[in-house]
A and B are shown apart, each in its own frame.
Chain A
């Protein structure tokens, strides 16, 4: 599968959705089952793509297309999708914090996380801290993922941290943050009281996995 992974990453970086989906169609015609397409091609390709982001070799528009490619592959591989439904890694409540209306990055995170097997509840933009908490409790989510693009709105995330602590939920729920401002000002991650952050959507799976592990280890 190494060549297919390499080819899929090449289609992602070239922002060639049609080419990527053709590649997957060909693999399926050759008898490669949907589960293998997801776990042995798509997942490693997303990880490799994330490494390119880490090296600043890909941009938002390419990441956007990569997310669309991941969505397209999941839709094509419907059998595997059903399988994945029963084997979710965990549930994440995702949203942009109060006063933040820059939702593109969040939606890309949702696509990448779902492609990696997370059950994502997307609350949208301008979400109050209280609503993050209520939704996480109602949905039995283990992670609250909060996005912010601007520093001013990012500081509103502190309220989410305060509510988690006030309600003694830190052993049940981890707080993940992301967005442009956290990439520019890393110190903000601790300032808002986050348990972790990642610099791009393709690293969300690793971050959520690590946060879930730390929850399990402490329980």
Chain B
């Protein structure tokens, strides 16, 4: 069973040779290949080489398309800051206000250099891994894209105090969102992960989320032509996961490290896959044995969680994480190889 078959079999709730294992390792490819991070994120062939190094070393059941939301912000006209020791961040959004953003055109996916580079990264990975390892791409959620265009403070201000104009911007940006999703799929993405920060409990409690964001997200998801995985982004999403579960075209969820996996399973559709929930911030401080235990603990209960994929929660695993720890992580998941070890629990 290769990785793509393993993931597809997980989704189909079929019999597995072992648990599938994901990890968000983007910048880590630069570490493995000694590639400066600003080059890694802006030269697709280096990104592909980074993912290949990760795959060679850790044998994960996924490779990751260029994961760089600051690049999306830059495509709109924002500014990026690069670091030596972490993924890039948005330094400044493109526009200072909702009104200002509405006056400008959306970036052209076919001509924008940053977007073309991201798509080339996806194509390169697809060419390398074909039907063996799934290519996973990330996209901001439909109500989080505006964070990258005008900044979270301006966006919250608009949504909460000027909802009519916020809705105009949301609809304006949706055109890009659909086109970008389609472009990622056309380039070779097997699974799109939608990172919707507005559903995180750290940003919105249940009432605020349902009142201000959920209706827009539901409308957006109704227009999707492919199933997606919903990602909590940071914090937790169990407080709204029952509502998210009813969204159209949602194949599963990446939940937070503080989300209870059993609670999540009980509140979503039995066919929706559950992914997570190992705390990514703890990776640097784990001992190899602690890491193995964290994976095995989930594997032991995976029979009750299925369909389930082991993964870290939140974003990139910190770059300072020793390579041996990620070895422990991937080996522990890979060693849950006998179906009897987990499927009958």
Contact = CB atoms under 8 A, between A and B. Distances in A.
Given A104-B153, A185-B281, A61 B83 contact: no
Contacts of A62: 205, 208
Interface stretch (A24-32, A34-42, A52-60): A52-60
B37 to A, nearest CB: 12
Interface of B: 81, 83, 85-86, 89-92, 152-153, 156, 160-161, 201-205, 208, 212, 234, 279, 281-282, 284, 318-320
Contacts of B279: 184
B83 A180 contact: no
Interface of A: 15, 17, 56-62, 64-65, 68, 99, 101, 103-104, 107, 126, 150-153, 180-181, 184-185
A60 B281 contact: no
A60 B152 CA distance: 11
Contacts of B212: 61
B208 A61 contact: yes
Contact of B156 (A56, A64, A153): A64
A107 to B, nearest CB: 7
Contacts, number: 64
19 contacts: A15-B160, A15-B208, A17-B160, A56-B201, A59-B202, A59-B205, A60-B204, A61-B203, A61-B205, A65-B160, A99-B81, A126-B81, A150-B89, A152-B83, A152-B86, A180-B202, A180-B234, A181-B281, A185-B281
B91 A101 contact: yes
A153 to B, nearest CB: 8
B200 to A, nearest CB: 8
Contacts of B89: 99, 101, 150
Given A64-B156, A101-B90, A181-B281, A59 B208 contact: yes
Given A101-B89, A104-B152, A151 B281 contact: yes
A59 B201 contact: yes
B204 A59 contact: yes
B156 A61 contact: yes
Q: Which 7 A-B pairs have the closest CB atoms?
A: A152-B86, A59-B205, A60-B203, A104-B153, A61-B204, A59-B204, A61-B208
A57 B318 contact: no
Contacts of B281: 151, 181, 184-185
Contacts of A185: 281-282
Nearest to A56: B201
A152 B160 contact: no
B224 to A, nearest CB: 26
Given A104-B152, A104-B153, A185-B281, A152 B85 contact: yes
